[in-house]
Chain A
Amino acid sequence: MSAVSASIIAACARGLAGPSVRWVNCRPSSRQRVYFANHTSHLDFVVLWSVLPRRLREKTRPVAAKDYWNSGIRKRIAVNAFHAVLVERGSKIAEGDRMAAARHTLDMLLEAMGEKNSLIVFPEGTRGNGLQVGPFKSGIYYLWSKRPDVQFVPVYLSNLNRILPKGEFLPVPVISRVTFGGPLRPDANETKDSFLAKAHEAVCALRDA
């Protein structure tokens, strides 16, 4: 049932966003991946998920903010249909509890991935205005340090902010573009800052690719 509703929602999102998809230095693959993308719209994870080949979709889980997606119809869409992993955002947690919360989040992600699932993450942690890609939160670095065997694939989503920008609830059907880039190639001794810089740069590089 959930697979059907996810497919229907994805088809609607594709109809609305008319995404053209490009794979640059990267091919669809069933190996475990973390797709990390810029974030400008609530449609982001649905569209990114919907442009993946069908056989990859069922093994790809979006990571979404618990404070937004954990109630009512949103929860039905995110959790029941797309099997999203809902995580606490650092900014919504009191200062003292952040370390513990971050560990808990990381454990949840690792468990969600298991041995065969891929993830869709938005390392900015919040929606931007579509002009610049904001700084990345460190979660993606910790995820990589635990699972360096997984491919980290940068994705750039264009125009989704024009379809459903922050603060709007009615969409406008603008044509969007999803660009997948070559997987990151981090060095083994990558620091947090250098890893995040590399990841950020990889997403930005796809903007004009």
Chain B
Amino acid sequence: MSFKLDHQMFLVLNVVIGGLVVASFIGFVLSRRVKSDDGRGTIDNLNARIRAWWIMIGIFAISFMIGPAGSMLLFAFVSLLALREYVSLISTTRADHRTLFWSFFVFTPLQYWFWYEGWYGLAIILIPVYAFLFVPIRLALAGETTGFLDRAARIQWGLMVCVYCISYAPALLTLNIYGYQRQDAKLLLFLVIVVQLSDVFQYIWGKMLGKRKIAPAISPNKTWEGFIGGVATAVALGTALWWMTPFPPLVALGMSLALALMGFAGGLTMSAIKRDRGVKDFGSTIEGHGGILDRMDSICFSAPLFFHLMRWFFVTHTSWFR
């Protein structure tokens, strides 16, 4: 697993940074013009989000420059932070302690190590099979039966979403696509850009036009206008990036649509957990955005699908497109 940084990648990164410059400028102008208190809160949050984007993209770009190991380490760290936010939010008991220790410090590093070594077979079953079995075994050994199935399921769920699913994003670097060797990093970039743009534009369209709520009980901010506008914008921009991917424009459109829809589903599902626990955000790590998991929820759900679509159509069944 290795990749080279080609001019396409630099071009895209430059465009992203250019977009942020524009966003920062708009945020600045809006902050000068807004008068009402309500509007003030929205614009302050917008500017906090834009500032946080600078930092997030900075960290992402640096890990990218380091190479595959940098990206693996970055996402492993993101998984740890996401799992930490998840565990902090759900209730765990004293008897879960050692199982949690294993989840954080054994399963999470192992998952990323397997991907780094390119051990696909192990990486895709470690958590769904072996952690799935290990968690209840370790809980049984702890000897506490109260809420047993509940406690086991919570930990299994956290490992699946925060570690297993997120790990599919850097796993894109292990794909060995014919005619696209050493360029896999651009797939990771494509995934992150499409999914995050979908989130950003759902937020923007929702703020501008949002009226009809999709699921008021789960998320008051998710509206049909935001959803359709955000997904459509992300799909349009994703399709426009077809030249950096191994697929033709029409497939880029389909992939972008799949990513944006799964990303939306991720945001909705994770919101349901937050509502159940009575909080608005998973944490406060990223100013304006909430926690790491609030930013990663859409990646959690879209990364596995993207990986398997890529692997199926561009690695094992290449004839479909040739």
Once the chains bind, are B85 and A172 in contact (CB under 8 Å)?
Answer: no
Which residues B96-138 have CB closer than 8 A to chain A?
A: 97-98, 100-101, 104-105
What is the minimal beta-carbon distance from B158 to any residue of chain A, in angstroms? 12
Docked CA distance A170–B104 (Å)? 11
Cβ proximity bits B217-241 to A, threshold 8 Å, 1 near / 0 not? 0000000000000000000000000
What is the bound-complex CA distance between A97 and B284, given in angstroms?
50
A30 within 8 A of partner (CB):
no
Q: Does B182 contact A (CB under 8 A)?
A: no
When C-beta atoms are compared, the residue in chain B nearest to A158 turns out to be B88
| A175 with B101, Cβ < 8 A, contacts A20-B284, A129-B94, A165-B94 known | no
B88 engages A168 (CB within 8 Å)? no
> Nearest CB to that of B85 among chain A residues?
A175
In the complex, whether B84 has a CB less than 8 A from a CB of chain A is yes
Q: Is B27 interfacial (CB-CB < 8 Å)?
A: no
Q: Which residue of A lies closest to B283 (CB)?
A: A175
Does B177 sit at the interface, judged by CB under 8 A?
no
A174 to B283, CA, bound (A): 11
Per the bound structure, the CA–CA distance linking A171 and B104 in Å amounts to: 10
- Residue-by-residue, is B46-79 near A (CB-CB < 8 Å gives 1, otherwise 0)? 0000000000000000000000000000000000
Contact A172 B87 (CB under 8 A): yes
Determine the distance from Cα of A18 to Cα of B284 in the docked complex, in whole angstroms: 10
User: A174 to B88, Cβ gap below 8 A?
Assistant: yes
B60 to chain A, nearest CB (A): 21
Are A172 and B88 in contact, CB atoms less than 8 angstroms apart? no
A172 to B104, CA, bound (A): 7
**Is there an interface contact between B101 and A172, defined as CB atoms closer than 8 Å?**
yes
Q: Contact: B87 with A174, CB < 8 Å?
A: yes
Task: Determine if B84 and A174 form an interchain contact, defined as CB atoms under 8 angstroms apart.
Answer: yes
Contacts of A162 in B (CB 8 A): 88, 92, 97
- Is A134 close to B, CB under 8 A? no
Asked if B80 is at the interface (CB within 8 A of a chain A CB), the reply is yes
Are A165 and B84 in contact (CB-based, < 8 A)?
A: no
Residues in B neighbouring A170, C-beta threshold 8 A: 98, 101, 105
> Which label, helix, strand, loop or mixed, suits the secondary structure of the A interface?
loop
A173 at the interface (CB under 8 A from B): yes
Smallest Cβ distance from B9 to chain A, in angstroms? 32
Chain B nearest CB: distance from A127 CB in Å? Answer: 12
Q: Considering the chains assembled together, what is the distance between the CA atoms of A165 and B94 in angstroms? A: 7
Asked whether A117 is an interface residue with its Cβ less than 8 Å from the other chain, the reply is: no
A159 on interface, CB distance cutoff 8 Å: yes
**B88 → chain A closest CB, angstroms:** 4
CA distance A190 to B105 in the complex (A): 50
Which of A20, A159, A172, A175 is in CB contact (< 8 Å) with B97? A172
- What are the residues of chain A within 8 A of B80 when measuring CB–CB? 173
Contacts of A168 in B (CB 8 A): 97-98
User: How far, in whole Å, are A174 and B105 apart by their CA atoms in the complex?
Assistant: 13
Task: Tell me the bound Cα distance from A159 to B89 in angstroms.
Answer: 10
Question: Closest approach, in angstroms, between the C-beta of A15 and any C-beta of chain B?
Answer: 11
A165 to B87, CA, bound (A): 15
* A157–B284 alpha-carbon span in the complex (Å): 18
Q: Bound state CA distance, A161 and B94, in angstroms?
A: 8
Interfacial residues of chain A within 163-190, with CB under 8 A of chain B in the complex = 165, 168, 170-175
15 A-B contacts, Cβ less than 8 Å apart?
Answer: A18-B84, A161-B94, A162-B88, A162-B92, A165-B97, A168-B98, A170-B98, A170-B101, A172-B87, A172-B97, A173-B80, A174-B87, A175-B84, A175-B85, A175-B283
Q: A171-B101, A175-B88 are in contact. List 16 more A-B contacts (CB 8 A).
A: A18-B285, A129-B94, A159-B88, A161-B94, A165-B94, A170-B101, A170-B105, A172-B87, A172-B100, A173-B84, A173-B104, A174-B84, A174-B87, A174-B88, A175-B85, A175-B283
